[in-house]
Structure 1
Amino acid sequence: MKAQSSSIQHPLLSVQKLKVCRGDVDILKGIQWEVKAGENWAILGANGCGKTTLLSAITAYRAPSAGEIHVVGETYGESDWNEIRQKLGIVSSALTQRVPADEFGIETVLSGQNAQLGYWTREKKVDSQKALRCLSKMGVRALAERPWGVLSQGERQKVFIARALINDPKLLILDEPCAGLDPVARERFLKSLQKLARMKTGPAIILVTHHVEEIIPEITHVLLLKKGRVFAAGPKREVLLDREKMIKAFSASLQVEQDENTQRFRMTF
């Protein structure tokens, strides 16, 4: 009898029977979800569906009440949470608001080496050249010597993605990255995100959004949440173009269509 191959590829992210409670209220109710190599996911749902709580649990900022989370070979509760965060790229407006106004762009990127906010330690070897390469990937190399306080919201998001890339993460988690962007800045940002998603050595992407219009063609799958449960999960066309499910998930009469030229989606009411 042949021994089983040891090259079995495990999911980048595995969420098993995840439950999160706040007092007597169940916020997440038995979430089952996996992200495999080669997949890019969007997490979608109405306000209060559990998107933020799920993201907080995945990024180790909220402890599960029950269930398990496995990320890039690490298990929450058995591994150091700070080390896990260093294997993830995390971009969130809640984090960008805590960057010191006088910190230069390159320092913001370098702070990602220790998964910290504010470039106040130099315990690790400084890799300025890698930081510059990460900024270049997002098309903002020129912002290396500009202070955070003078950057636009779109520039900040791109610098923060460069920060997330400094540790070569396997997963890049984007929490509503287009919030606060005007339509032009949003489109420019999404084009930069598309370029990143097309890189062969780039991370898998998890995009948390309220808007189907922000789901770029490179997103392969959609996780649809409703009232703390997985309402649908699978290839994006199967989920987004299932009108009955979308209507129930958002409790509104709506229609999702896909543009044949851009492959982007839009929601109409």
Structure 2
Amino acid sequence: MVIELKNVHWKRQNKSILKNINWAVEEGEHWVLLGLNGSGKTTLLKMINGYIWPTTGEIRVLGKQFGKYPLGELRKIIGWVSTAMQEKLHGEEYTENIVLSGKFASPKLYHDPEQEDIDRALSLMEEYGLSGFIHRPYASLSQGEKQKVLIVRALMASPKLLILDEPCTGLDVFAREQLLETVEQLGKQKDAPTLIYVTHHIEEILPVFSKTLMLRQGEVFKTGRTEELVTESQLSDFFEAPLPKRAFYLSQCNHP
């Protein structure tokens, strides 16, 4: 199992934020974590990364049980991409150095990298269409370009699990489509890490994500095959409101 949560609860100031979470992700699966703002998605991600601890319940990530394995070591093989991460990076760094820093899970390069790491960074940048950004400051890139760089940066450490936390936030329609194409490209690779794509926009759910977890008010609403859950009736029940026709139409464009 890549992720295994059993009866996980998390409380803050006597308020239950996550309640009775049971979730299993197997190797080779790519999942969407779907939920509205305030549903507990970010809290769940922080727990999977070991930044917060369950009040009760058991967590295993990549076969390692929390409490019996150094979380610092575990985080080295978990990639996490989010818009908020951009604020932690040094914008004046060259883009290739931002990518290289992913090998060391640090916001910048503190040591001279090995030639092998340099070659891998340049190879990944070429593979994902970023060669044109070499020797360009990270701050000079567009929001969408920065997000693509963060994905490639995460791949530097050869993660077994890659979490994409609402990566399309703030992107225009063209940048969003380009980023989604990058995610689809990654997910189709034979040696791809297990992907967890977090969103509240159903139109971002790509065919590569065959499984979906629906999280509502801190509880698992349903888990299962995406094609069975991303339907008008299921989504209306999940959101507790009639689904806007335009949103459903756009989601079906990704799942003909």
Q: TM-score, normalised by structure 2?
A: 0.92
**Aligned residue runs from structure 1 range 99-110, under 5 A:** 99-110=89-100
Closer/same/farther in 2, CA of residues 173 and 125 from structure 1, 3 Å limit:
same
* Residues 1:57 and 2:50 aligned together: no
CA distance in 2, matches of 1:142, 1:130: 16
**For residue 164 of structure 2, what is the amino acid of its counterpart?**
L
SS of the residue 2:6 aligns to: strand
SS of the residue 1:205 aligns to: strand
Runs of at least 4 residues of structure 1 off by over 6 A? Answer: 258-261
Can you list the C-alpha shifts for 1:209-237, whole angstroms capped at 9, x where unaligned? 01011011111011001111110000001
CA distance in 1, matches of 2:199, 2:251: 19
Q: CA deviation at 1:121?
A: 3.9
CA distance in 1, matches of 2:127, 2:76: 19
* Residues 1:90 and 2:80 aligned together: yes
CA distance in 2, matches of 1:249, 1:49: 12
Q: CA deviation at 1:247?
A: 2.2
Closer/same/farther in 2, CA of residues 146 and 236 from structure 1, 3 Å limit:
same
Any gaps of 5 or more consecutive residues in structure 2? none
**Larger relative CO (CA 8 A, sep 6+): 1 or 2?**
2
CA distance in 1, matches of 2:38, 2:238: 11
CA distance in 1, matches of 2:250, 2:231: 8
CA distance in 2, matches of 1:180, 1:217: 23
Query: In the alignment, what sits opposite 1:162?
Result: 152
CA distance in 2, matches of 1:161, 1:200: 17
1:193 alignment partner, one of 183, 189, 202: 183
Query: Where is the helix percentage greater, Structure 1 or Structure 2?
Result: 2
Can you list the C-alpha shifts for 1:20-62, whole angstroms capped at 9, x where unaligned? 1111111001111111122110001122111111111112222
Any gaps of 5 or more consecutive residues in structure 1? 1-10, 265-269
Closer/same/farther in 2, CA of residues 259 and 86 from structure 1, 3 Å limit:
closer
How many aligned residue pairs are there?
252
Q: CA RMSD in A?
A: 1.8
